[in-house]
Amino acid sequence: MVRLLAALALLWAGVAFAQKAPDGAWETRAAMPTARSEIAAAAIGTRIFVVGGLVTSGGIATFEAYDTVTDRWQTLPPIPEARHHTAMTAQDGRIYVAGGYRASFNEPLRTLWMFDPATNAWARRTDMPGERAAHTLTAVAGKLYVAGGIGDTPQRMWVYDPATDRWSTNVAALPTVREHTSAAALDGKLYVMGGRWNSRNQTTAEVYDPATDKWTKLPDMPTARGGLTAAAVRGRLHVTGGEEFGGDRTFNQHEVYDPTTNAWAAATALPTARHGLTSAGVGSVFYVIGGATRAGGGTYTSLSALAEAFTVR
């Protein structure tokens, strides 16, 4: 009986821990030089790069970098093709940007561009197998994975090898098709969370293991939303922001998934609710940048340059 009670106590403690969010606090950091929504970001070392975006005139080519140490922004050479609803990642010290909308929402792109901070220059790489926008691009184990979005065969996942400049479509498809979704890499796996499809926001969370080419369903996110952002920080996945589809509500819920306990927890809310934002994890800090504070058509009158940072204690 004593052993049974001890085992139950340990089990209960494990459940309680699984539901405990990481402690931390939000701070406001230096604002981006350019207010914009539907942007993408990636971190290299202590710098976060942000590209493109949606403004009142459509897509832009703006490319800016934030130094997390000095709390300062730098304007870099613009990407050769203006775009919004794009996707971006970093691999081997270089930035990769794929797809998005050119200007209107009827012009999805298939182009892939690479930026090398060492030369401060952009280079065109092999186009994606098809057009995609409102998708994700994530570096996992040396390859770049395109998942979700709007465009050609959105249920298919595409994989790019930077070493050979070639794409492959021979990988397992995303189980739950969606766009305006979010993704992050952690411990050699690809996590895809939230998004929307057929005018409905989703809570779906799934993980892909390149070693086995298999997807696994995870516990649903607590809050259904599209237009959200996600990043990995200290072994956990932080998700925040998003919008109500067909309404004027934006979300500030900040939810954290812990792979070791396979559970979600609610963390301190994002100070400024917004959608179409982007994020990156640098060290123990979750940086959340840009977006718009109003949903849908209100995006154009509520573009944000905000940078807010959650430091995990």
For the chain, give every domain's residue range: 25-312
Q: HSE (CB half, 13 Å, CA atoms) of 181?
A: 33
pTM as predicted: 0.93
Q: Please give the Cα distance from 137 to 279 (Å, whole number).
A: 13
pLDDT of residue 282: 98
Which pLDDT value is given to residue 3?
Answer: 40
Of 104, 84, 76, 74, the C-alpha closest to 40 is 84
Sequence-distant (6+) residues with CB within 8 A of 12 are: none
**pLDDT score at 103:** 87
| Cβ partners under 8 Å of residue 102, min gap 6 | 59, 81, 82, 83, 108, 109
- The pLDDT, as a whole number, for residue 106 is 87
Q: Give residue for tokens 């939230």.
A: 194
- Whole-number Cα distances in Å, 194 to 54, 60, 62, 171, 177: 21, 26, 27, 21, 10
Distance separating alpha carbons of residues 50 and 63, to the nearest angstrom:
6
Sequence-separated (6 or more) residues with CB below 8 Å from residue 172 = 157, 208, 213, 214, 215
Phi/psi at 11 (nearest 5 deg)? -60, -45
Q: End-to-end alpha-carbon separation of the chain, Å?
A: 38
Do the beta carbons of residue 182 and residue 232 sit within 8 Å? no
Q: Which amino acid is at 29?
A: R
Q: Which residues pair with 191 in a beta bridge?
A: 184, 207
The answer for residues whose C-beta is within 8 angstroms of residue 267's C-beta and 6 or more apart is 21, 22, 24, 238, 254, 255, 256, 310
The residue written with tokens 């709007």 in the block is: 150
* Average pLDDT for runs of 10 along the chain of length 313: 38 43 94 98 98 95 98 98 98 98 92 98 98 98 98 96 98 98 98 96 98 98 98 98 92 98 98 98 98 96 98 96
pLDDT at residue 218, as a whole number: 98
pLDDT of residue 107: 87
pLDDT of residue 144: 98
Q: What is the pLDDT of residue 250?
A: 98
Domain 25-312 CATH class label: mainly beta
Give the per-residue pLDDT at 253: 98
Q: Is the dihedral of CA 280, 64, 37, 90 positive or negative?
A: negative
